[in-house]
Structure formats: structure tokens, C-alpha cells
Structure 1
Amino acid sequence: MEFRVYYEDTDAGGVVYHARYLGFLERGRCEFLRERGLSVKGLAERDNIFPVIRIEVDFRAPAVLDDLLRVECEVVEVGKTSFTLGQQVVRALDGKLLVSALVTLVCVGPGMKPKRLPAELLQALRPETP
């Protein structure tokens, strides 16, 4: 998924404000699922919500106003009720790694009780075979 950095994304120093990357990563996860035939909205309509329960972020280099960024995702681990994605924010122009993250999400249903990952999600998280 690619997108442009806008003025609203930057801080007083002219670089992307660190908290904005969490939103970028969220968008990347949503598009990662969409590319695999799922939507966050559709999963939620079937009582499957996926809150982030752990996130580890390494800021490696700054993005600045008007940069074109790309968010990449890969499946790191899949459990019974949770999964972990490795995510990267890369500057599209030169491929420079700006941010890397490990994000763990858990599946919850009504009452925020953990539940097994739905079969359709498990299928979407399987490694792609050529």
C-alpha cells in the first residue's frame, strides 16, 4: 500500500510525527487483509474484532513532507486466538527502510472475550504458494 505524507502528518521539525506511524501501520494491515479477500468491516460484522495487544516499533529514519511511503506486511506467527505481523514503512522512491514493527492482534468477540481466529482469516494468513 502506498500513500503520500501530508503536512498534517508532520511535527514542528518537519518530519512525520512518531504517533502517525501507528495509523500508517493500521492502514497497511487493513489493506493486507483486503488484498486477501477480507475486510475489517466484514469480520467485525461477524463479531470478530482484532485489537492490538502488543506493538514493538523501531524508528530507523525519518519520513518528511511529500514522501511517498509504502507499508509492507508479512505474517510472522499465527496462534489459536492471535497473530503477529511484521510490518515495514519504506520510502517508495529509494526503498529506504524507515520504520519496522512487530504487531500482535487478538481476536475477540462480544464482551471482548478472546475467541479462535475465524477460518477465513486463517486461510488468508497462510503463506502464499507460487
Structure 2
Amino acid sequence: MAEPAAAALGRVEADAHLFPVRVYWEDTDAGGIVYYANYLKFAERARSDMLRLIGVDQAAIWRDGAMFAVRDVKVEYLRPARLDDDLLVTTRLDALKGATIALRQDISRLGAPLVRAHVRAAFIGLDGRPRRIPPAICAAMERLTGNGREEST
């Protein structure tokens, strides 16, 4: 399978992953406003591509018998997005410990906040039991902290 262009994965700047999203018809309700659940899809895409960009291969992790699973999400809907809007999903690492990762994801349009989400995911085996996040993944996640600041274009 061909690797996606780096730009398609977004970019890491300072301590955040930035992921652009365009709103299509399929994302909206009959009024042309983004359906609330689709913000979760935008956030999921951003998290997946963030991991890919920093070198975490989720398919390989799964083949090795583990995966990340969302444990809980808290979402605040501040303003609506509409058809053809260009959005930006900004993902920041809040905490990384043991078997869990906490992320803050903000979705904005032209710098104006639309949605704020706090996501906690667990690293689990395919049997559903928690596992410690492997050191290589923790090291990759350092790119999203003040300790491992690195810019990518």
C-alpha cells in the first residue's frame, strides 16, 4: 500500500498536531450544518493521522495483538460549522501514563473555536485488558510535549 503524502497527514507544530478538514455534504444535516456526531469522526481522523505522522503504525500494533480504544470523550459544541467550511483539528497531548493517553482536540474555523473535545484512550490487548503503552510509542508521543518539541512540514 502506498504511503500517503505527508501533507495529507497534517503537520506537527510545537506541541500540537494540526489536521485540516473540509466540510462536505455528507457531513451536514438538511440545513447544511455539520451533524454533531461528525465532529467525532473529524477528531478520530486527526488522531489516526497524528499517530501515523509521528511513526506509530496502528495496523502493526493490531497485528501484535493490541490497539488503542477510546474510553471516554467530553465534547463542548460552541458554534456550528457549515458546508464547504475549512476546519482545523488541533490535537494536544494532555497526559500519557501507564495504559492511557489523554488528548485535547479543538476544532476551529479561521481561528474561531467551534468544538472542544477531551479524549481518553486506553491501550488494550485484543482480549480487552489494559496493557502498558510500549516505550517506542511513548517516545513517539514526546513530539507532542514540551520535552520533545519538533516541527514537521
**Secondary structure in 1 matching 2:138:** helix
TM-score between both structures, scaled by the size of structure 2:
0.79
Gap regions ≥5 residues in structure 2: 1-18
**Secondary structure in 2 matching 1:21:** helix
**Residue in 1 aligned with 2:84?**
66
Aligned mate of 2:119, from 82, 103, 108: 103
TM-score between both structures, scaled by the size of structure 1:
0.92
Query: After superposition, what is the alpha-carbon deviation per residue over 1:57-99, rounded to whole angstroms, capped at 9, x for unaligned?
Result: 01111100001111111100111010100001111xx211111
**Residue in 1 aligned with 2:104?**
86
Aligned mate of 2:73, from 35, 46, 55: 55
Q: Retained in 2: the 8 A contact 1:30–1:39? A: no
Query: After superposition, what is the alpha-carbon deviation per residue over 1:9-68, rounded to whole angstroms, capped at 9, x for unaligned?
Result: 001222000000111000010111122111322222222211111100011111000011
Q: Retained in 2: the 8 A contact 1:86–1:101? A: yes
**Residue in 1 aligned with 2:128?**
112
Aligned mate of 1:28, from 32, 46, 60: 46
- Report the structure, 1 or 2, having the larger strand content: 2
Gap regions ≥5 residues in structure 1: none
RMSD: 1.2
In the comparison of the two structures, how many residue pairs are matched?
128
